[in-house]
Amino acid sequence: MPDFEIQPQLIVLYPQKMFKQFPLIKGTLVLGRGQDADIRLEDDLVSRRHCEISFDGTNVTVTDLGSTNGTFVDGCQVSASLLNEENRLQVGCMVLKVEFESHQGLFDLMVYEESTKDPLTGVMNFKTFDNRSFGEITLARLNDQPLHVATIKLTNYKDLQNTYGQQCGDMVLKEVGRILKDENRDHDLLARLNEDTFVLLVTSISADDAEKLLAKTCEAISKHHFSWKDSLISAPLQLKICSKQGKEVGTLQEMLVHCL
């Protein structure tokens, strides 16, 4: 912990349109949907008095107040937990974090958003995808809604690197990421999962419609002309989908097992 006086900030990271930061002073603040909450969170899945955040001058602690839908830290339901800068707090569909800082500056949203992206493809990195999936999974379980996790793998990525060099493989992967971003619906999540694979989280449509949507996305990639120097490059894909509904929706990791 730094020697200078700190001013922790509680920051709403997701949904991004609700970005806001709240300074934490020594003492306790109640988070909730009710009019009497110290920090009001406009989310139907948040209880009127959901949890409290305490700052003792050094540490920040979250304590659940018997909320209906629970308080989660890094995907695990907690009754009470210390929070550091690496932790992600989920309350309803909202993802928050604590930032410890001096009085000299405020959390920079633009810098943070850059840190959430995969540097090669520009899509979300998997850590951020994992954080933001918490709310979507919770919503699907509570409202008996369908939720789909899919992976799209560029199957010849290593062959491209071996034949044409790493720059060629990276160029094709970057272009695949761009097409995926263009085809992706605004409220669905897209990230780079690993070296040659992207992952998507699709909500609000049936399993059949999700399959059609993702097949259309793959078709858009297959119709694209990839070229490296004077050579046309193929980009074969492997699509796998795991669809669940309501209480059958598992954790992200459980659903990914069926897509790898």
Each residue's pLDDT tens digit, 101-137: 644 455 666 677 778 899 999 999 998 898 888 878 8
Residue that wins the pLDDT comparison between 88 and 147: 147
Each residue of 157-213: pLDDT tens digit? 999 999 999 999 999 999 999 999 999 998 899 999 999 999 999 999 999 999 999
Give the pLDDT of residue 1. Answer: 44
Each residue of 31-75: pLDDT tens digit? 999 999 999 999 888 999 999 999 999 999 999 999 998 999 987
| H/E segment holding residue 158 | helix 157-164
Residues β-bridged to residue 64: 51
Tell me the pLDDT of the chain averaged across its residues: 90
Q: Which domains does the chain have, with CATH numbers?
A: 9-114 (2.60.200.20), 116-257 (3.30.70.270)
CA distances from 20 to 11, 41, 107, 118 (A): 6, 10, 10, 24
In the block, tokens 């989310």 appear at 43
Q: Do the beta carbons of residue 180 and residue 217 sit within 8 Å?
A: yes
In the block, tokens 């097409």 appear at 179
Q: How many helices (H) and strands (E) does the chain have?
A: 6, 18
CA angle at residue 23 from 82 to 92, to 5 degrees?
60
Give the pLDDT of residue 68. Answer: 92
Residue that wins the pLDDT comparison between 114 and 252: 252
CA–CA dist 130, 144 (Å, integer): 21
| H/E segment holding residue 190 | strand 189-194
CB hemisphere CA count around 224 (13 angstroms)? 22
Each residue of 221-235: pLDDT tens digit? 999 999 998 889 999
Say which range, 1-15, 71-85, 225-239, has the weakest mean pLDDT: 1-15
Residues 6+ apart with CB under 8 A from 5: 102, 103
Residues β-bridged to residue 146: 245
Give the pLDDT of residue 52. Answer: 98
Cβ neighbours around 200 below 10 Å, total: 27
Q: Do the beta carbons of residue 88 and residue 97 sit within 8 Å?
A: yes
| Average pLDDT score over residue span 132-149 | 88
Give the pLDDT of residue 211. Answer: 97
Q: Is the pTM of this model over 0.85?
A: no
Give the pLDDT of residue 102. Answer: 46
CA distances from 102 to 82, 141, 200 (A): 20, 40, 37
Per-residue confidence band for 6, with pLDDT thresholds at 50, 70 and 90: confident
